[in-house]
Amino acid sequence: MRIPEHRRPSALYILIVLAVVVLFIATSYQYKLTDRMFPLMVGYFALPLLIMDLLALTDSKIGEKISIFFSAKTPEKVDEDADQTVRSLKQELMIFVWMGTLVFGIYLIGFLPCTPVFVYCWMKYRGGYSVRQSAYLAIGTIVFVYVLFEILLQYELYPGIFLYWYG
């Protein structure tokens, strides 16, 4: 019983979720009976589901049975029907880093500087637009955000961690 190469990423995903569920169950035990009753019920219900999902990815007989029971499809058919978009891990990691940097930047120095910088950099370096086009959209976005949120709605947009506590 093994998991075919092309289903490995899915299997990894399930294993991560499984780990979260185990952590959840372990945490539940520190609470009083009323407080842990539902979380434990749900947690223990999740375990067999995840294990079945994992088995359905294998090339075994039982995997096929599970797949047919729940979806009326063989695992091969499921593969066929899946989204065929090619996603390289490098590409995905790259985008996570971009997004992560944005959120971290907002946390550190706030929305107002991060907004135009992010829009500009993305357009210029990911979209391949010219400096002028990128700058136009960057300015447009920050004007929209500033006028709508700061002026019209009188929100104090988050100014970054330093100004928030010491400003």
Partner 1 sequence: MFDALLEGIVNLGSIHSLLLLAAGSCVGLLFGAIPGLGGTTAVALLIPLTFGMEPWQAIILMGGVMAATSTGGSVSAILLNTPGIAPNAATTFDGYPLAQQGKAGMAIGAAATASAMGGVIGVISLVAVIPIMKAIVLLFTPPEFFMLAIFGMCAIAVSSGDRLLQGLITAVIGLMVGFVGYYDVTSTVRFDFGIPLLEDGVKLVPALIGLFAISEMINLAVKGGSISQDSSDVEISGVSAGVKEVFKNWSTMLVGSGYGTFIGAVPGVGGTVAAFLSYSTQAQRDPTPEIEYGKGNIKGVIAPESANNAKDGGSLIPTLAFGIPGSAETAVFLGVLILHGIEPGQKLLEDHQDLVFTLVVALTVSAVFATLIVLALAKYMALLTRISVHMLIPTVTVVALVGAFALNTEIGDVVIAFIFAFIGYFMIRFNYPRVTFTIAIVLGSITELSFHQSMLIADDQMSIFFTRGLSLTLLALTILSLAFPTFRRKMKERKEAKLETEQ
Partner 2 sequence: MFSKIITGAVALSAVAMVAAVPAQAQSFPKKNITFLIAYGPGGGFDTITRKLAPFLKKHLGGKVNIVPKNLPGGRGKKAAAFLAKRKADGSHIMMFNMPGHAMPNIIGEEAGYDVRKMDWLGRVAQFRYIIVVSAKKSKYQTIQDVLKAKSQIKIPITGPGTTGYLASAILWNALGVKPKYITGYKSSSRYSLGVIRGDGDLTILAKGSFKKYVSSKKKKQAAFKDLKPILEITNGKSEFGVPTTGEMGQKDLAILGGDRIIGTTPGTPKAIKDRLAKAVWDSVNDPEFVAWGKKVGRPVAPLNSEDATKLVGTLYSYYIQYKDVLAASNKKTR
> Cβ closer to partner 2: 31 or 45?
31
Q: Name, in order, each residue with C-beta under 8 angstroms of 161's C-beta and a sequence gap of 6 or more.
A: 107, 108
Cβ contact 155:110 at 8 Å:
no
Neighbours of 146 (CB within 10 A): 16
Q: Binding string, 3-22, against partner 1, x = CB under 8 A?
A: ------xx--x---x--xx-
Least distance in Å: CB of 56 to partner 1? 7
Closest by CA to 146, choosing from 124, 121, 115, is 115
Please report whether residue 76 would count as binding partner 1 according to CB under 8 A. no
- Site residues (CB under 8 A) for partner 2? 30-33, 154, 165
Record the tokens describing residue 143, joined without a space. Answer: 């004007």
> Cβ closer to partner 1: 3 or 17?
17
Please report whether residue 54 would count as binding partner 1 according to CB under 8 A. no
Q: How far apart are the first and last CA of the chain?
A: 61
CA distances from 162 to 30, 86, 110 (A): 36, 42, 9
Binding site for partner 1 (CB under 8 A): 9-10, 13, 17, 20-21, 24, 27, 31-32, 34-35, 38-39, 42-43, 45-46, 49-50, 52-53, 56, 66, 70-73, 82-83, 85, 87, 91-92, 95-96, 98-100, 102-103, 106-107, 111, 114-115, 118-119, 122-123, 126-129, 137, 141, 144-145, 148-149, 153-158, 161, 164
